[in-house]
Structure 1
Amino acid sequence: MATSVKMDEETKSRLEELQAEIKLETGRKVTQQELLDRIVTHALATRSEVVDSFRERTVPLSDEEIETFNQGTFDSGTETDEDDIDQLVYEEDHL
C-alpha cells in the first residue's frame, strides 16, 4: 500500500537530483518510492543518530556549555603521557 509523503521543494529537488545521479551512474531508472525505501532501509546512520539529529542541540558546544563542562575538571598535578596510558590500559601487572 503506497502512501504519499509531503516534502518541501528543496527536499524534492535533492531527491530528484539523486534520482538523476543514480540513472547517470548505473543506467537504472528508479522511482522516488524505491529511492526513499533504499535510503530508509540502508541508511548509513544508526537509529540513535537519526533520532539525535532532531534534537535541539548545537555542535560545537556553546561557550557556556564548554565552561559548564570544564567546571567538573581539575589538574591533578601529575603529567601523563601515552606510555603511561598504554601501561595502565594494556599491561596486566598494574592490577
Structure 2
Amino acid sequence: MATAVKVDEDAKSRLEELQAEIRLRTGESVTQQELLSRLIDEAYDSRKEVIDSFRSSTLPLSEAEKEAMRQGRISSGVETDEDDIDDVLY
C-alpha cells in the first residue's frame, strides 16, 4: 500500500538528481519509491545521528560557548549555601 508524502521542490529535485546519478553510475533504474525506501532503511540504522540532527543544540558545549557563559556571569557579593537554595526551590 503506497502513501503519498509531500516534499518541497528542493527535496524533490535532489531526489530526482540522486535517482539520475544512480542510473548513470550503475546502469540500474530505480523508482523514487525504491530510493526513498533505501534511504529510510539506512537512516533507520543510524537513527541516533538522524535524531540528533533535529536537536536545537548539541552537547558538549564548544569552548567558545563555555567562554561566553563564563563572561555572562557576575558575582552578587552574597554567598549562597544549600539552605538558601532549598528555600528558593521549595
The TM-score normalised by the length of structure 1 is 0.60
Change (3 A) 1:23 1:53: same
Cα RMSD (Å) of the superposition?
2.7
Structure 2 CA distance for partners of 1:52 and 1:20, relative to 1, 3 Å? same
Q: Which residue of the partner structure matches residue 36 of structure 1?
A: 36
How many residues align? The count is 68
Structure 1 gaps of 5+ residues are 70-95
CA distance in 1, matches of 2:22, 2:56: 33
Matches within 5 A, 1:1-95: 1-43=1-43, 46-57=46-57, 61=62, 63=64, 65-67=65-67, 68=69
Alignment CA distance shift 1:44-1:51 (3 Å): closer
TM-score, structure 2 length as denominator? 0.63
In 2 relative to 1, CA 62–17 (structure 1 residues): closer, same or farther, beyond 3 Å?
A: farther
Task: Give the deviation of 1:30 after TM superposition.
Answer: 0.7
Change (3 A) 1:31 1:62: farther
Q: What SS is found at the alignment partner of 1:28? A: coil
